[in-house]
Amino acid sequence: MVLWIILGVVVILAVFVIATYNGLIKLKNRVQEADSDIDVQLKRRYELIPNLIETVKGYAKHEKELFEKVTKERSSLVTGSTAEKVEASNAITDTLKSIFAVAENYPELKANQNFLQLQTDLTDTQDKIMAAQRFYNSNVRDFNTKLQVFPTNLYGKMLGFTDFGFIEASNEETKNVEVKF
């Protein structure tokens, strides 16, 4: 009799642990998917920047320093952790702002359809990076909560799960970044 009770308890515990394990795996995969969603947007930005430089170069040859700066920063969009890449993307937003400001001095460039489209595309990718980052963070929140609640917190670490870190918005980003001309 006692043996059966013990066996029953063990089975129930095992089922419970398996269920939370599977739940955690599901949420972890969502976090990772959200992470690669951010990457997709970063990559898009990475690919747009050379086009912008080419277009601007045609009108404003003398802005060499800016071109070099943005080219250098661009490479950090695809290297390092996601948080670092997002940080790099924020830095690029600032540099891009200077480039757009420079465009003010070149009326022909300002009227260039291609340039205008690139400008909105680049602003849009930054919005999309921020949106993807918010989605990532809400998935991280769900995962961390599931891992930290009782009783999962007692054995979650033993199953090999650890908390994910949030990708924080830098101060610059929380301000309304809108370039008005």
Q: Given the rule CB under 8 A, which residues bind another protein?
A: 34, 37, 41, 120, 124, 127-128, 130-132, 134-135, 138-139, 176, 178
User: SS3 breakdown of the chain: % helix, strand, coil, rounded to 5?
Assistant: 75, 0, 25
Residue 145 or 162 with smaller CB distance to another protein: 145
Residue 146 beta carbon to another protein: minimum distance, rounded to whole angstroms:
15
Residue 17 beta carbon to another protein: minimum distance, rounded to whole angstroms:
26
Residue 158 beta carbon to another protein: minimum distance, rounded to whole angstroms:
29
**Exposed e or buried b per residue across 151-174, where buried means at least 16 C-beta atoms within 10 angstroms of its C-beta:** ebeeebeeeebeebeebebeeebe
Residue 67 or 115 with smaller CB distance to another protein: 115
Residue 174 beta carbon to another protein: minimum distance, rounded to whole angstroms:
9
Residue 25 beta carbon to another protein: minimum distance, rounded to whole angstroms:
18
Residue 95 or 139 with smaller CB distance to another protein: 139
Task: Give the tokens for residue 78.
Answer: 């695809």
Residue 91 or 177 with smaller CB distance to another protein: 177
Residue 37 or 63 with smaller CB distance to another protein: 37
Tell me how crowded residue 1 is: count the other CB atoms within 10 A of its CB. 5
What is the DSSP track for 33-100?
A: HHHHHHHHHHHHHHHHHHHHHHHHHTT-TT-HHHHHHHHHHHHTTSSS-HHHHHHHHHHHHHHHHHHH
